[in-house]
Structure 1
Amino acid sequence: MGTKRNQIVYVDADSCPVKEEIISLCETYECDVVFVCSYAHDLNAPAHIKIVQVDCHKEAVDLYILAAVKETDVCVTQDYGLASLLLMKGVYVVSPRGHRYDEKTMDEMLQSRYLSQKERRSGKKVRGGPKKFTAIERDRFKQNLASLLDGE
């Protein structure tokens, strides 16, 4: 087991439900992890985990990650916009629910997000919020992150 070219895992950590899994896998694969969150969030992590706190501006976490990542790093985020920009930089991106983002499906995902935002702005009620996070999604996340750290 090993990482590719000093691979670092960056985490859009403000609302990430798989922090413990990320820490465990990064310890197993001996790779660095950086949790990036706003000052409004107080994260607890082992001393060897780097936590970067940024301004509370809604894009501050995204901008930090975009500036810090390099090709072949990994990012955990549920933000489609950030994911699309990271893919263009050669970064591997996975959602906390275990979805591996790729350029083939990104246009469709961004279009769907745009249409949902447009509906909300027009005053239409959008049903519910995100689906409940499941154990199956947690397992899929662990499998996909492990395969990325394995170089697959």
Structure 2
Amino acid sequence: MPTLYIDGDACPVKAETIRIAERHNLIVFLVSNSGMRTGTNPNVKNIMVSDGADAADDWIAEHIEAGDIAITADIPLAARCLEKSAQVLGPTGRAFTPENIGSALASRELNQHLRETGIMTGGNAQFSKADRSRFMNQLEQAIRKPA
């Protein structure tokens, strides 16, 4: 069974991930720059890393293994996890794959450039109930996916 790694600082689906992991008796690493409440389940490990832009990402990328599942909206971290043959889900249920990670990285770079030049000023779309539901369905599928 896979181990789950949550990029925790800005993840809107921590509780859902932990609840699904508990049903499957999976180990979860909740990795963040600050301590978070994880409840009393001994399978949920709260990993607090040093302050730093990529400290949580680095910890996850160093520890994740083939077949594990990362939960992150961070596209460069998703690419690093895919390189180690892990599955990666964004909090909206979007699966990052070897086939789509290149275009996701390119879109990220383009959007960053457009924001820096002032051409694009809006942020991400609001997180919705449909996003949460899609995520939970995708996580269930990822857990049940044969290795």
- TM-score interval, normalised by the smaller of the two chains: over 0.9
Deviation per residue, 1:74-114 (Å, 9 max, x gap): 00000111101111110000001100111111111111111
Q: TM-score, normalised by structure 2?
A: 0.93
Q: Which residue does 1:136 correspond to in 2?
A: 130
For 1:116 and 1:18, how far apart are their aligned partners in 2?
24
How many residues end up aligned between the 2 structures?
144
After TM superposition, give the deviation of residue 55 of structure 1 in Å. Answer: 1.1
Helix, strand or coil: the match of 2:99? helix
After TM superposition, give the deviation of residue 115 of structure 1 in Å. Answer: 1.1
Larger RCO, structure (CA 8 Å, separation 6 or more) = 1
Q: Which residue does 2:9 correspond to in 1?
A: 14
Q: Where do residues 41-60 of structure 1 align in structure 2 (5 Å cutoff)?
A: 41-47=34-40, 48=42, 49-60=44-55
**Structure 1 spans left out of the alignment, 5+ residues:** none
Instruction: Tell me whether 1:113 sits opposite 2:108 in the alignment.
Output: yes
Deviation per residue, 1:101-137 (Å, 9 max, x gap): 111111111111111122233x314232111111111
Instruction: Tell me whether 1:124 sits opposite 2:118 in the alignment.
Output: yes
Q: 1:31 aligns with which of 26, 30, 53?
A: 26
Q: 1:80 aligns with which of 62, 75, 80?
A: 75
**Structure 2 spans left out of the alignment, 5+ residues:** none
RMSD: 1.2
For 1:45 and 1:125, how far apart are their aligned partners in 2?
40
* Moved >6 Å (runs of 4+): none
- The percentage of counterpart residues that share the same residue type is 28
Contact 2:35–2:46 (8 Å) recurs in 1: no
Q: TM-score, normalised by structure 1?
A: 0.90
Q: What is the identity, as a one-letter code, of the residue corresponding to 1:146?
A: E
For 2:143 and 2:112, how far apart are their aligned partners in 1?
34
For 1:52 and 1:42, how far apart are their aligned partners in 2?
8
Q: What is the identity, as a one-letter code, of the residue corresponding to 1:45?
A: T
Helix, strand or coil: the match of 1:104? coil
Q: What is the identity, as a one-letter code, of the residue corresponding to 1:145?
A: L
